[in-house]
Amino acid sequence: MDPIVQLLESYRGRDKVVRTLCYGSQLVGGVLSQKSGRSSAVGKSLLLFSAQLSHCRTVLRLFDDLSMVAYTRSYGLGNREEDGVVRCLSVLTNVADQLYYPCEHIAWAAEAELIKVQPDRWWTLSTLLWAASLLLGALRSIRVIMLLRRKLREHQRTRQDSASHGRATRRECQQQITMEMLSVVSCLADLSNAVHWMPPGVLWAGQFPSWLVGLMGTVSSFIGLYQMGSGGSEHQASS
């Protein structure tokens, strides 16, 4: 009980729980809505519930700009990164994330008729930025995995460390590789949904059934919860 309460008391933890419920409801609702009778009615209710949770997260993201600015400012040009490719991909990801939030805010405000602009264009732009962030994040994780595997191979060749320290180093590298591989899966799952929400004619845009959107989002959400519980951090824009 205590870990759940602690998770819900933090903003990031609560957002991840709401996100999981949102996509999980869409997954189950999408499956049930294809059936007939009472199951169809329950499925439609779950889809409506999912839509309300998604809207809730959109409104809460109105307050994410400053935290994103603070993270982008602290990371800067990534001078602490040893690898230039990782540094470049991380900086580009931060730029995409930073631009994502105001674009989504404008789209939300236009849809709510608070400002008089076309919301569809801004929703498309925010989705493109989200997709760019996810693709860059996946490429960054792949690059990190390559560097970690190279480090493991070099360590096995030299074997200069003590046995105990060597085992600890290998275990740490393997754990980092696992986390980065999960990040790749998460980014690709979300990227598939991002393409689905793009304008018609872009790859598989608009072709996913509700249950498949829910499945991809649920996979990504559970990975995010696991990474948070394992001490990982997430700074990418999440939709």
Please tell me the distance from the alpha carbon of residue 90 to that of residue 97, in angstroms, as a whole number. Answer: 10
Q: Name the residue with tokens 């519930």.
A: 49
d(CA 207, CA 140): 28
- The token pair that represents 213 in the structure block: 């959107």
Sign of CA dihedral 218, 72, 126, 201: negative
Indicate if the alpha-carbon torsion angle 233, 8, 63, 214 is positive or negative.
Answer: positive
Burial of 172 (0-12, 13-18, 19+ CB in 10 A): exposed
- Evaluate whether 225 touches 173 at the Cβ level (below 8 Å): no
Rounded CA separation 118/126 (Å): 13
pLDDT tens, residue by residue, 47-105: 999 999 999 999 999 999 999 999 999 999 998 898 999 999 999 999 999 999 999 99
d(CA 145, CA 147): 5
Q: Provide the pLDDT for residue 37.
A: 81
Residue 13 CA from chain centroid, whole number: 13
pLDDT of residue 154: 82
Report the pLDDT value the prediction gives residue 153, as an integer from 0 to 100: 85
Q: In whole angstroms, how far apart are CA 96 and each of 136, 147, 207?
A: 9, 24, 25
Q: Which residues of the chain have pLDDT under 50?
A: none
Rounded Cα distance between 27 and 189, Å, is 14
Give the residue from 86, 92, 189, 180 showing the smallest Cα distance to 141. Answer: 180
Residue type (1 letter), 178: T
Name the pTM for this structure.
Answer: 0.92
Find tokens 């939709």 and name the residue.
239
